[in-house]
Structure 1
Amino acid sequence: MSPRPKALVLGGRSGLLGQALVRVLRESGWDALPTGRDDVNVLDSGSLASFIERAEPAVIFNTVAWTQVDLAEEREEDATRLNRQLPTCLARMVRGTSMHLVHFSTDFVFSGRKGTPYTPDDTPDPASVYGATKLAGEQAVLQQCPDNACVVRTSWLFGPGRRNFVKVILDICHDKGEARVVHDQIGSPTYTLDLAAGSVKLAELRATGIFHVANAGQASWCELASEAVNLAGLPCKVHAIPSRDYPQKAQRPPFSVLDTARFTQMTGITPRPWPQALRDYIYKECLPAMHDA
């Protein structure tokens, strides 16, 4: 009996996507090794290299990132360490080995001025420090180890294990009975378990290059919130507001829907519509937790 393939999931202990990856990997027959801050200091290249050498993974999934979008405008150096320097370091470690690296990036690498879904070949044009540092990280990965790494761009994540936009909206509605949500930002809502399943498939195929992985369809934040509230059966009024009424330090792309055709061509997987995925999340994860509270 051959041993199960081993996957190292950086950020797998507490991260929203990392936890989903660990769950999907184990369900798919992988030996998944999640890491957190207490396991290894990912910003210490020596410690990280020794940890990876001991783990001997076939695949490394890097879900670690600086994701505090607005705070990145003030702390660019900190964001750069996690979003550019860490993936650069990982790519150098993977280069010339049998390991494969799957690195996650974001729709924020685009300005959002295009108006039609972004393909992996569209020219990035980030409008925020967060987007710029994430772009630098994905470019470093593909420059350092183009033959054994892929970049997965995704967006608007929701799923079990950690607070996310959908959970926050449900909590607000449960407590206050109403919520004010931006209606003029359009994107691709993505269920972490679907994203994880697609990413594992890319790893199994040892795919290289850039792939967009998100659930099908598009929505505004307000539409996503309204659908979540409806599915949860909460008596809540969702008020649509323009972005100018909810000022934030970092500029968000007004339209960042991702075209997943290349992913489908590579894997044979057609992402399901986001409302179907949201229904799974609400019914299987959120409602049982609300009833138990």
Structure 2
Amino acid sequence: MRLLVTGAAGMLGTDVVAAAEAHDVVALARADLDITDADAVRAAVRDARPEAVINCAAWTNVDGAETAEGEATAINGAGAGHVAAAAAEAGAFTVHVSTDYVFAGDASEPYVESAPTGPRTAYGRSKFAGERAVAAAAPGAHAIVRTAWVFGPHGRNFVDTMLRLGAERDALSVVDDQVGCPTYTGHLAQALLEIAATRPNGILHVAGGGRCSWFDLARATFEAAGMTVAVKPCTTADYPLPAPRPAFSVLGSTRAGAPTLPSWQAGLAAHLSARKVVHA
């Protein structure tokens, strides 16, 4: 399969390119392609002649988006639309990565693909704008892949932050009233390639198996890494951030074409192995 990967130097994009080594891949990092430039996107897709485009380019600074919503939406909204429009024009299938932040985060059961959306952050609104733009630009040739709590060895993430802080401190307080599905980029990358090949149209939820809180993930990280750190639970109110975090963002799927990922624990183990973090 001939693939074009945008955002190819990011945390997810790097793993997508690595996972696609058996394919014919054109990898474009942010420095190579600004997806807010519709003409540049059209030219890049035309030159690449892909069968599928996996769009990993995104504004990912959740808190930063609160004071720069226009910039975030230019990338996550209009930019995503440019990629899908160019792909459709070239006869290629679009795989677009979205987020649990398109939901309000106040549910008690997993959000499935048909669940009502209701983003409460600038980041969530920017990503929801991208979903609509992709669906409008490539109505019969797109997969919008919502995922959550992404971590991997090629970018800033919660697990690596815990490893760094755990090496500096004997005790940490970590939020215990937010629950989600930690998702390892290596597992997600393989799923995105599968989706590019099988072409299920519409929205799919693809996240790490199981659910946990940030507190649970921190404790599991230290245990797996063989680090002795006292982890104390705290509340979201104890740790205020510019963008409100969803209390519950567990994703479920009712789509037959949605790949099932390994458990978040398996993802954590794979991440620590990739980072060469060995249990002492």
- Name the TM tier (shorter chain): over 0.9
Greater shift, 208-217 or 43-52, is seen at 43-52
Letter in 1 for 2:275: E
From 9, 14, 22, the counterpart of 2:17: 22
The residue that corresponds to 1:50 in the other structure is 43
From 261, 266, 270, the counterpart of 1:271: 261
How many residues are paired up? 280
The residue that corresponds to 1:187 in the other structure is 180
**Conserved? CA contact 2:206–2:260, under 8 Å:** no
The CA deviation at 1:279 is: 1.4
Instruction: Please give the secondary structure, in 2, of the residue aligned with 1:34.
Output: strand
Instruction: Please give the secondary structure, in 1, of the residue aligned with 2:277.
Output: helix
From 205, 211, 214, the counterpart of 1:218: 211
Q: How far apart, in 2, do the equivalents of 1:95 and 1:283 lie? A: 38
Q: How does 1:165-204 map to 2 (within 5 A)?
A: 165-204=158-197
The residue that corresponds to 2:8 in the other structure is 12
TM-score normalized by structure 2? 0.95
TM-superposition CA deviations, 1:85-137 (whole Å, max 9, x none): 10111222223542011001000000111110000000101111110110111
**Conserved? CA contact 1:172–1:178, under 8 Å:** no
Q: How far apart, in 2, do the equivalents of 1:40 and 1:203 lie? A: 21
- Find out whether 1:153 has 2:146 as its counterpart: yes
The residue that corresponds to 2:233 in the other structure is 240
From 24, 32, 50, the counterpart of 1:39: 32
The residue that corresponds to 1:78 in the other structure is 71
Instruction: Please give the secondary structure, in 2, of the residue aligned with 1:95.
Output: helix
Q: How far apart, in 1, do the equivalents of 2:76 and 2:194 lie? A: 24
Letter in 2 for 1:9: V
User: Which runs of 5 or more residues in structure 1 are unaligned?
Assistant: none
Q: How far apart, in 1, do the equivalents of 2:37 and 2:130 lie? A: 17
The CA deviation at 1:84 is: 0.6
Q: How far apart, in 2, do the equivalents of 1:95 and 1:182 lie? A: 42
- Find out whether 1:140 has 2:133 as its counterpart: yes
**Conserved? CA contact 1:167–1:286, under 8 Å:** no
**CA spacing shift, 1:96–1:54, aligned 2, 3 Å:** closer
**CA spacing shift, 1:153–1:166, aligned 2, 3 Å:** same
Q: How far apart, in 2, do the equivalents of 1:260 and 1:191 lie? A: 18
Q: How far apart, in 1, do the equivalents of 2:239 and 2:63 lie? A: 13
Q: How far apart, in 2, do the equivalents of 1:221 and 1:144 lie? A: 36
Q: How far apart, in 1, do the equivalents of 2:199 and 2:246 lie? A: 31
The CA deviation at 1:37 is: 2.8
Q: How far apart, in 1, do the equivalents of 2:241 and 2:162 lie? A: 18
From 201, 207, 219, the counterpart of 2:200: 207
User: Which runs of 5 or more residues in structure 2 are unaligned?
Assistant: none
Q: How far apart, in 1, do the equivalents of 2:177 and 2:48 lie? A: 45
Letter in 2 for 1:280: A
TM-score normalized by structure 1? 0.91
**Conserved? CA contact 2:45–2:90, under 8 Å:** no
